[in-house]
Structure 1
Amino acid sequence: MTISFDDFLKVDIRTATITRVEPFPEARKPAFKLWLDVGDLGERKSSAQITRHYDPETLVGKQVLCVVNFPPRQIGPVRSEVLVLGVPDADGEVVLVRPDLTVANGGRLF
């Protein structure tokens, strides 16, 4: 399926820095609760199934890309406000999508 460039622009993908990480033992699959600084958009929360390659101590301070204009989803007791983006490794486990240089939080992907 092809989409127009205008359709692509409807998806608001921004940079964010992970500021806090906690285990999410209530999740059906292993996950973390994340707090992200999205610049002018403020702090947003998310849940991410990224426990295979990451641990809380190494995630804090990492920049990631996330979709900020999906409606919030309730995932157990967590209200996920953004979708943190990742791609699968050879085993189908999530590898985060990140800028390769530090950029401003809230910067929009183009």
Structure 2
Amino acid sequence: MDNLELNVEDQVTEEVVEETSPISLLPFEEENVDFDTFCKSDFRVVKVKDCVAVPKSKKLLQFTLDDGTGTDRTILSGVHAFYEPEELVGKTLLAIVNLPPRSMMGIDSCGMLMSAIHEENGEEKLNLVMLNDAIPAGAKLE
């Protein structure tokens, strides 16, 4: 499969926020990552094939993802306070896929889903980065 270039500004699905909702951005972290380290991150488009709550966890959802390789990828993400599993099936998301597996609740998570966090009316909100469904699984973010 050819690597497809992805322009985030053109492809990220916009969320509509009511004008009456005061929104504040969380402060930037002070720790810097050098350019060479950042360039090693492999950001890919993934399609959610299945999503279920992880038993005995209040926060974790287990995603079964199509990452364009022909083999399903499992990623666990602590987003259950913000999403129900069934609303994420079929969505197109952004993930870092070259992280070492991390075991959580006895399940290996092979990557990390990208999200945005902000405050709204004094409450923390989280939005997974959702992309245009026309972008194929496995497309590389450049």
Q: TM-score range by the shorter chain?
A: 0.7 to 0.9
Q: Contact 1:48–1:84 at 8 Å: present in 2 too? A: yes
Instruction: Name the count of aligned residue pairs.
Output: 108
**Structure 1: which 5+ runs fail to align?**
none
1:44 to 63, 66, 73: 73
1:49–1:94 CA contact under 8 A, matched in 2: no
Q: Between Structure 1 and Structure 2, whose CA radius of gyration is higher?
A: 2
CA contact (8 A) 1:15 1:66 kept: yes
CA distance in 1, matches of 2:107, 2:95: 17
Determine what percentage of the aligned residue pairs are the same residue.
27
Task: Name the CA shift for 1:2/1:101 in 2 (closer, same or farther; >3 Å).
Answer: same
Name 1:87's counterpart in structure 2: 116
| 1:35 aligns to 2:58 (yes or no) | no
In the superposition, the TM-score normalised over structure 1's length comes to 0.86
* Alpha-carbon RMSD: 1.8
Say if 1:8 and 1:32 are closer, same or farther in 2 by CA, change over 3 A.
Answer: same
Tell whether the 8 Å contact from 2:91 to 2:133 is kept in structure 1 after alignment.
no
Runs of 4 or more consecutive aligned structure 1 residues displaced over 3 Å after TM superposition: none
Q: Which residue is equivalent to 2:41?
A: 11
1:15 partner amino acid: V
**TM-score, L = length of structure 2:** 0.68
Distance 1:2 1:50 in 2: 25
1:63 corresponds to which letter in structure 2?
Answer: T
1:59 aligns with 2:91: no
